[in-house]
Chain A
């Protein structure tokens, strides 16, 4: 792919208030330290697999800060992917829960030890279960967005995936389904473009200049941004989200990001040289603006590292799930989303399954 044709918003982004910039930074730092701890845990044998989003924190934190968090149609629905932990932190998730999922403990609130690190599920915040198959979230997103279009209000659907995943048919599905004439949906489609699919450079597989150009064919407002600049990422997201909230129409945002530790633990999870580091960039800004000194920044990092190390030591002592629990939740016995009662009492859904009974 040729060098990114990145459109700056309006020249330089409008500076964020100091308070917002400081908050962005602190969350980005937590996100980075968390990913580094997760990588360390995996390498030390306290987890089977690591995948995450170090290098995307500027964008992902900004996204999490701007989400209308909550349960139900009035709030935003999130169809995220496995590089989204910083978004969840910015929404208020406890970083220790990410450690629990890495260690696959019974206390892991996202999956009870069933799923990989970075595969969250938080119904009380409309965060749909994150799954490993690439791009399937783009087929589901039109469903929540359709329900929100009917409902009205300012809640939107946010769906996020990587650049390589846009080759899957699900990406085209989303473009089609959110832009049906007279049925345009309030859906923010996000492609975080790190220019790789595992080991394969996008430039060797994709002929399109910008992924965001694909939105134009459907009349979807689209943009490619430099998401290594936290301030720009925040401003662009603010603008895109406001458009989707207000106009109840889709927006395709391609965010150019770095991938600082490669694809996952399967490719070594070692620091990659030559990529822009959004955390270094924001710290430069903070120093330039006199908001933080180098010594303060170093102290913050040291403190967070120490806290998460201590947390990891606690987490590895937490219990693992018991084998017989595999039989739990094969079927739902009630609708946990709407809490609707089942109107018949002779129903398979209301009865314990015989194989479940045997297991207990």
Chain B
């Protein structure tokens, strides 16, 4: 068994109202920042999976990303390896 560190990025699907993103976007002029648009606020979940190999670990992450971490009606997710963080373990 080895430990594999992953990150799951969950974002609102295209077309889904994202009032948080809109609020962030509207705040930018107050900072004197212009030319920023299409702000979308999501969530990033990092986790470590103990498994025999990376494929098995990724399968676990895919399952929990689709079943728990995202709501497929309104959110998309993307799984990526978060390589070096595994040693931290916290």
A, B from the same assembly: no
